[in-house]
Amino acid sequence: MKKLAVLLLAGLTCTALLAGCGKKEEPVETMAVNELDTTPETVVTPESVPEPTESEPQEDVPPEEGMVRSPLTNEWIRGELENQRPIAVMIPNENACLPQYGISNADILYECNVEGSMTRLMAVFKDWKGMERIGNIRSCRDYYVYWAKEWDAVYCHIGGPFYILPIINEPSTNNITDAVLASDSSQKKGLVDAAFYRTDDRKAPHNAYTSGDRIEAAMQKLNYSETYTENYESGHFKFASASAPNTLEQYGANALNATKIDLANAYVKTKPYFEYNASDGLYYRFQDMQNGDKKHIDGANNQQLAFKNILVQFAHYETRDASGYLGFQCHDTTKDGWFFTNGKGIHVTWQKTSDYGATKFYDDNGNEIELNTGKTNICIVEDGKTFDAE
């Protein structure tokens, strides 16, 4: 089996990341270093990669009357969800907080390092109103807010360090936070006075949760719109049609086999990795778990997390203080990344030009990539870190 060792060369040092996205700079000419055990004559240079053909028109006949395509996954959803704003929930990712609840329902899952070499997740849900238990929930890091804004999502968290204040206090930021949480007994009585509540089954701070009805009540109290605001920019992802999925075969030998994607070198404590299942075309998520079972499981339904698309997004970062708080450059830059789907992967570059603008991913010909219908895991990786794909 061919093995790819993926290494991003460090770019220019970013010295002004205090608010999570630094000053605008000229695009950095960085490339991923690929070590592929193939002969030179089989390698196709980026210039010789054929242009992708026009996608076939998407199938517009819904399985049920009134259904529409989700802008997050391209899957069919109920028509009443079309203009409903998503929520973006901050979820810790360490052994003490496992299992998380409701996480398998996330349409988009972000992962990025925080202080202490831990990662934190941000789960983006389009259809959230009927969810009974979401979390657990932890504090904000400002760079996640910029990613939440891409979806015009209501950002849910419990406090955070002072670095979050510039972005959290912006009038256009709709966030739900709560320093005083309801007890488990009040939750059992059906009270929804607080946006979040704590359970009795584990110790704080790993026992804070919310639910769809609590989020809806909080949005009404805060006078937040439940439908997309004027800041929403449609067309976030470009999707291939179901009848003509993106196999990446049009990239020839530059589309590398990737039946396992290992991010242990990028996320050194949880050591997540993905294994491709050819029978259903999904990447199943694993990571180091306290009980020795490496499957990343949702405690609400005992389902393993699985994704159709994996995006690896390298980013400038800095360590802000002695406590190890990090800052990431979220936009005003051009950086490297990788796109994996259907058991293959290609090198990409990404750009994000504004707070509410989508992060766009392009192949080496400058064409926007086409994701396949389904859930996406976006892994933001520090410049200089590595990961393996084979």
Least trusted range by pLDDT, from 125-139, 184-198, 220-234, 314-328: 184-198
> Does residue 62 lie in a domain region?
no
Predicted local confidence at residue 13, as pLDDT: 37
Name the 3-class secondary structure at 271.
coil
Kind of pairing, strands 344-351 and 360-362?
A: antiparallel
Query: Does residue 10 carry a pLDDT above 80?
Result: no
Structure tokens at 231: 């800041």
Domain total for the chain? Answer: 1
> Does residue 60 lie in a domain region?
no
> Does residue 61 lie in a domain region?
no
pLDDT per position as a tens digit, 58-72: 457 899 999 999 999
Q: Long-range contact list for 152-155, CB < 8 A, 24+ apart?
A: 152/85, 152/86, 152/228, 152/229, 152/231, 152/232, 152/233, 152/356, 153/85, 153/86, 153/87, 153/88, 153/124, 154/85, 154/86, 154/87, 154/88, 154/215, 154/219, 154/224, 155/87, 155/88, 155/90
In whole angstroms, give the CA distance from residue 100 to residue 299: 6
DSSP code string of 130-175: T-S-EE------HHHHHHHHTTTPEEE-S---GGGHHHHTSTT--E
Predicted local confidence at residue 242, as pLDDT: 84
Beta bridge partners of 378: 110, 311
Beta carbons of 214 and 190 less than 8 angstroms apart? no
Query: Does residue 21 carry a pLDDT above 90?
Result: no
C-alpha distances in angstroms, 37 versus 7, 81, 164, 322? 16, 47, 45, 42
Q: What is the CATH number of the domain that holds 229?
A: 3.50.90.10
Write phi, then psi, for 97 (nearest 5 degrees): -100, -5
C-alpha distances in angstroms, 116 versus 113, 260, 270? 8, 26, 12
> Does residue 13 lie in a domain region?
yes
> Does residue 77 lie in a domain region?
yes
In whole angstroms, give the CA distance from residue 54 to residue 11: 34
pLDDT per position as a tens digit, 337-382: 999 999 999 999 999 999 899 999 999 999 999 999 999 999 999 9
Query: Does residue 150 carry a pLDDT above 90?
Result: yes
Mean pLDDT of the chain: 85
- Per the structure, the complete domain to which residue 18 belongs is given by 1-55+67-390
Predicted local confidence at residue 95, as pLDDT: 87
- Percentage of the chain exceeding pLDDT 90: 74
Predicted local confidence at residue 36, as pLDDT: 34
Other residues' Cβ atoms within 10 Å of the Cβ of residue 77: 20
> Does residue 289 lie in a domain region?
yes
> Does residue 259 lie in a domain region?
yes
Report, as an integer, the average pLDDT of 107-126.
96
In whole angstroms, give the CA distance from residue 56 to residue 7: 35
In whole angstroms, give the CA distance from residue 232 to residue 150: 8
Report, as an integer, the average pLDDT of 181-197.
51
